[in-house]
């Protein structure tokens, strides 16, 4: 089997921003909307990196380079569909409606960041590698059993496909026909380990064959291809045609986290070769050449993004400090007896020791 023939990469805009496919499902206004979001999210991500370096937030996992995949997927969902993401998927959650200051509060250690707003159907970001894939299958299977017309989507990196949870999830979803869309953001690196050293498979998506589900490979840096493909896929999954595995080929432009130094394992040649055609530069070039936006319009988008990020930073840094006992909240709908006892013991000790805010 030749994976490149079996699973060709779907693409509408090439790396130079040239139209090489059909974009009839996406209007000019939608493209301008996507561009505003991509620029805002990139501006936020870069600002968050700087905030960590200034000591104003803790460890932060940047997502620059992967914005098109996350936004394009969520844009294809219904409001009551489920989103299960990892610690690098704040772009998806922000597009779904989670406030932009939440990722900052998360890196500050504020427990409220674990409580997703009621108007967003998403689970809190998962730090345990691949665990969110299991959760998506549970949510999808539950929706099917209850006769709900809902789909569960889960995001994960190429490194997560080396975990047993990935394979168990695909197998169970296949057996049960659960309405789940598995979105692998193949960003080429699992921390410092390249894909070529993680697996002998030439692609991630060919693993769909083992579980007898549909697999699709697409250009994760092309938001038009992502959105149009996922619109088609989500419709099929919602109609009961079974789960689908997506491999979105993209590139993590920065470090794994602020605790990582990618120069120790990636060369300048790697960066130049793999970052070519990153999502924002690609879309901007197309919009300008097609006359959909002007340079003045781009400048306005960039200014609007900066203001949105400034507002998010101001909100996060002025957010009320959490009471220490809040670490027990938002874990279960009803606090379990052992946790309730621990909370009482904690409050008793805190009352003796003084300060209860962090």
Place of tokens 């996060």: 316
Rounded CA-CA distance 170/87 in Å is 21
The sign of the dihedral angle between the CA atoms of 344, 348, 351, 353 is negative
- Residue 283, C-beta contacts closer than 8 angstroms, at least 6 positions apart: 13, 17, 31, 34, 35, 38, 68, 223
| Of 98, 115, 81, 84, residue with least CA distance to 44 | 98
Distance, first Cα to last Cα, the chain: 56
Place of tokens 């789960």: 243
* Helix-then-strand count for the chain, H and E: 12, 7
254: left (phi over 0), alpha (psi -120 to 50) or beta: beta
Active-site annotation holds for 78: no
Considering 211, 252, 282, 286, which one is annotated as catalytic? 252
Place of tokens 């379990």: 336
Considering 265, 285, 319, 343, which one is annotated as catalytic? 265
Rounded CA-CA distance 293/306 in Å is 19
Considering 23, 207, 256, 282, which one is annotated as catalytic? 256
DSSP characters for 41-100? HHHHHHHHHHHHHTTSS------TT-HHHHHHHHHTS-TTSEEE-BTT-HHHHHHHT--T
Rounded CA-CA distance 245/222 in Å is 18
* 284, two tokens: 């901007």
Active-site annotation holds for 273: no
Place of tokens 């013991």: 345
Rounded CA-CA distance 44/92 in Å is 13
CA 58 to chain centre: 20
Active-site annotation holds for 135: no
Cα diameter, the chain: 68
Give the residue numbers annotated as catalytic, written as ranges: 252, 256, 265
């Amino acid at each position: 089997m030749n994976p490149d023939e079996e699973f060709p990469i779907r693409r509408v805009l090439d790396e130079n921003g040239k139209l090489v496919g059909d974009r009839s499902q996406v209007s000019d206004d939608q493209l301008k909307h996507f561009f505003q979001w991509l620029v805002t999210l990139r501006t936020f991500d870069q600002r968050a990196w700087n905030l960590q370096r200034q000591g104003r937030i803790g460890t932060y996992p940047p997502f620059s380079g992967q914005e098109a995949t996350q936004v394009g997927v969520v844009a294809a969902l219904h409001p009551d569909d489920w989103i299960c993401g990892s610690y690098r998927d704040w772009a998806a959650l922000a597009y779904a409606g989670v406030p932009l200051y939440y990722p900052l509060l998360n890196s500050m250690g504020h427990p409220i960041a674990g409580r997703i707003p009621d108007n967003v159907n998403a689970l809190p970001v998962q730090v345990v590698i691949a665990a969110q894939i299991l959760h998506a299958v549970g949510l999808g299977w539950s929706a099917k059993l209850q006769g709900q017309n809902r789909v569960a989507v889960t995001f994960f990196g190429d490194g997560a496909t080396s975990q047993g949870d990935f394979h168990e999830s695909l197998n169970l979803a296949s057996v049960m026909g659960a309405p789940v869309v598995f979105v692998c953001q193949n960003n080429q690196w699992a921390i410092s380990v390249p894909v070529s050293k993680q697996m002998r498979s030439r692609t991630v998506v060919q693993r769909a064959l083992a579980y007898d589900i549909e697999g699709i490979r697409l250009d994760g840096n092309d938001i038009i291809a992502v959105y149009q493909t996922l619109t088609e896929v989500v419709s099929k999954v919602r109609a009961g045609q079974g789960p689908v595995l997506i491999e979105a080929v993209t590139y993590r432009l920065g470090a794994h986290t602020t605790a990582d130094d990618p120069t120790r394992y990636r060369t300048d040649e790697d960066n130049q070769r793999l970052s070519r055609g990153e999502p924002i530069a690609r879309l901007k070039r197309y919009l300008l050449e097609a006359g959909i936006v002007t340079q003045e319009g781009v400048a306005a988008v960039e200014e609007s993004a900066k203001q949105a990020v400034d507002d998010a930073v101001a909100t996060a840094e002025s957010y009320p400090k959490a009471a220490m006992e809040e670490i027990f909240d938002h874990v279960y709908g009803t606090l379990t007896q052992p946790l309730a006892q621990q909370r009482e013991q904690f409050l008793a000790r805190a009352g003796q020791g003084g300060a209860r805010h962090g």
